Chains A and B, each alone.
Chain A
Amino acid sequence: MTKNLWRALLASSALVLLGGAALAEDFDYGKFEGYTLKVKLIGGTQYEKLYTRLPEWEKLTGAKVEIVSSKNHFELDREIKQDIASGSIAWCVGSNHTSFAPQYGDLYIDLKEFISQGELDKYVPGTLASAMVDGRLVQLPRVTDVSNLYYRKSLYEDPAKQAAYKEKFGTDLAPPKTYDEWKQQIIFFADPPNLYGTAFAGKDEGLSGRFMELLRANGGDVFDESWKPIFNSEAGVAAVQWFKDIYDAKAVPAGTVNYTWDDIGQAMAAGQLATDLDWPGFAGYYSDPASSKIAAELGFATAPVGSSGKRGGWSGSHSFSVTQACDNKPAAVSLAVFLTNDESAMMEAQAGNLPTRSKTFDEVKTWFVDNGKPQMAEMFNAWQGSLAEARTPPLIAQWIEVSNVIWPAVQAAIVGEKTAQAALDDAAAQATIIMQDAGLLK
């Protein structure tokens, strides 16, 4: 009896040792006794859960973390630009985003020089590829945004609605496969003022992104190979027309052209929308009965395809970067890896976010099934489908500026100030000047 017990103990400790060895091989987080690492992190409840892991890293390495800033990314972006302008970069790790990263030039280091290929291989390859700027890996992705469709099962499974839909369009009512089908359903479901088919982010980067997504799904693109703006193509006009059609049909809240994500999230959670094409992070919000009326009937589907048969797959990742000016780059890299490692990815995924580590996908699905939330596991399948065709906005410094000429034009067309073609032509002309000034377009 005792012998067996001893054997079992020995075996398990050997396992622990092996496990430990495997961990050490993974990534050496190093020791930085007495060092204080200054970081600028994106704030907000969805993001801050991860930061509860900071004390763990502090214990592991002996260093201290000082959060010098915690803001949303637009505020953070402005702050970082001020730091660049005043030449006062006194911090090491910063939250970053794939759409913003190209603007910062050589502010951040190439992480490939600090992290082994073996470690990098653990990240989702496509996600990691879109974290590169000019061949430099300037950021480690923590969660990925990619459009996915949320829908309300109570509406799609309502026999009266199913019958009416079948009668009207001759097809069964099911989550849409194409943008045209989706448009048809948006208008079908709309019963203002109590229910709208959907809502879209009607300004800022949100509208540019959604337009770009639809443009690409229709077979168009923002630029051609020589960086000439070509978004005023037929595909672009069709994309704008899609927005205009649902807007004119009053199938979206009239205020949607002034909405950003927070308004859409609120409207969906309040049970005002039938569908919502949105980022994965809202899954946690929508499925929480304390904040959402639709928690019990939330359905997930892959984003629809456009007229080219492809998904636009607008995506981007929140990430961590390490500054060139950092006085202890190994410590900074250590934290960036720690906050995106398997355990961190799992933590983000359990909150409903799309992780950036390949193996986390299977793990989190199992976890949700084990924890009695099979619908969340089902969600990850849909998300993975969308991720397969994910595409970021053009990774150039001028993207935000071009985006700022695109969305007012799309807005102007939606509300009927200009025709779709005229609005896009004007915007393309402005974008051309921006690209010429930048020297990208000859």
Chain B
Amino acid sequence: MNFLRLPRATPYLLLLPAIVVILGVVLVPLVVSFWTSFTPYNLTKPATLFQFVGLRNYERLLGNADFWWAFGRTILFITIALNLEMVLGLGLALLINKVTWGQRTLRTIMMFPMMFSPILVGFQFKYLFNDAVGLVNNALFDLGIIQQPIPWLVDGSLAPLTIILAEVWMSTSVFAILLLAGLMALPKEPIEAAKVDGCNPWQVFRHITLPFLMPFVYIAMTIRSLDVARAYDMVRIMTNGGPAGRTELLWTLMTRTGYNNSQMGMANAMGYVSILTSILFTYYFYRKLVSARAFMGGAQ
């Protein structure tokens, strides 16, 4: 009890509620699913939950080409989507930051795609890019640009592209609003000083604005790389990994394995491989964040 009154207990007390919630909602279920990844757990056969098979699921995964393809595709998808969103989001934020009128309305419009639930975005883009009756092909036809429908959601290179497009539409706003918040907190003095010293706008951006924004960029990157999995809802509706696995991502594969095939143990083994990867990604951004922060000061 005495410890709690000590000043050094304060940060722990402040963090206690957050820790409790995360523990209950994430950690406990995580331990359960970790266990199931060592069992042949089948959803409809509860008894299989207690049948230990060691590393069998993981061994099978190692030799499962479909899984590794989905794995590689997921990494590629995340990398392309996030970088694209970051660049576009930065551009959007800089652009809107320059506008002096109607900021409030503009910002609301900018956030418009964020009002769309990922599941809705899935249906929306599925119909927009439907090859036969979709709006995009209809427009291209009526403008005389194409004579044959473009199979957006089927073609080997177009299908992943369409999905990335939907993801970028849905999430660029997240980057934009975070970076805009950063831009608004940007101190003016260094910029004014740099201008007085004769720096051109590019130099100001490169040497003052960007370094200041970097923590925001990394925060945005980290946050998005973590909740990018919400794209699952969207992909499931648009292609559900097809055709012929051309858009199969870890999330669609895992869910099909776990729920449709009832192979929950195997699905969780896949889950742990993906968690390990996420940890590497997150750790990378975190190191970046820490070093960017050193630039800004504050308690370490």
Contacts and interface: CB of A to CB of B under 8 A. Distances in A.
Contact of B133 (A104, A250, A266): A266
Interface in A239-284: 250, 253-255, 257-258, 263, 266-267, 270, 272
B255 to A, nearest CB: 9
Contacts of A414: 243-244
Contact of A411 (B40, B152, B243): B243
B57 interface: no
A238 interface: no
A16 B132 CA distance: 56
A87 B45 CA distance: 11
Contacts of A437: 40
Nearest to A87: B46
B105 interface: no
B114 interface: no
A253 B240 CA distance: 18
A136 to B, nearest CB: 16
B200 interface: no
B113 interface: no
A95 B281 CA distance: 44
A233 interface: no
Contact of B262 (A81, A202, A267, A272): A81
A192 B45 contact: no
Given A258-B239, A267-B133, A400 B154 contact: no
A257 B153 CA distance: 9
Given A193-B148, A266-B133, A81 B154 contact: no
A161 to B, nearest CB: 21
A255 B262 contact: no
A255 B261 contact: no
B136 to A, nearest CB: 12
Interface string B141-155: 100000111111111
A103 B44 contact: yes
A440 interface: no
Contacts of A255: 130-132, 149, 151-154
A126 B195 CA distance: 86
A105 B149 CA distance: 46
B39 to A, nearest CB: 13
A146 to B, nearest CB: 24
A105 B240 contact: no
A263 to B, nearest CB: 7
Contact of A272 (B43, B132, B147, B242): B132
Interface in B51-108: none
B245 A408 contact: yes
A84 B43 contact: yes
A78 B43 CA distance: 9
A72 B213 CA distance: 46
A411 B244 contact: yes
Nearest to B240: A203
A144 to B, nearest CB: 23
A412 B245 CA distance: 8
7 contacts: A105-B45, A202-B242, A202-B243, A270-B133, A401-B260, A411-B243, A414-B244
Closest 3 CB pairs of A and B: A254-B151, A255-B131, A412-B244
Interface of B: 40, 43-46, 130-133, 137, 141, 147-156, 159, 239-240, 242-245, 256, 259-264
Interface of A: 74, 77-78, 81-82, 84-85, 87, 103-105, 107, 192-193, 196, 199, 202-204, 250, 253-255, 257-258, 263, 266-267, 270, 272, 397, 400-401, 404, 408, 411-412, 414-415, 417, 437
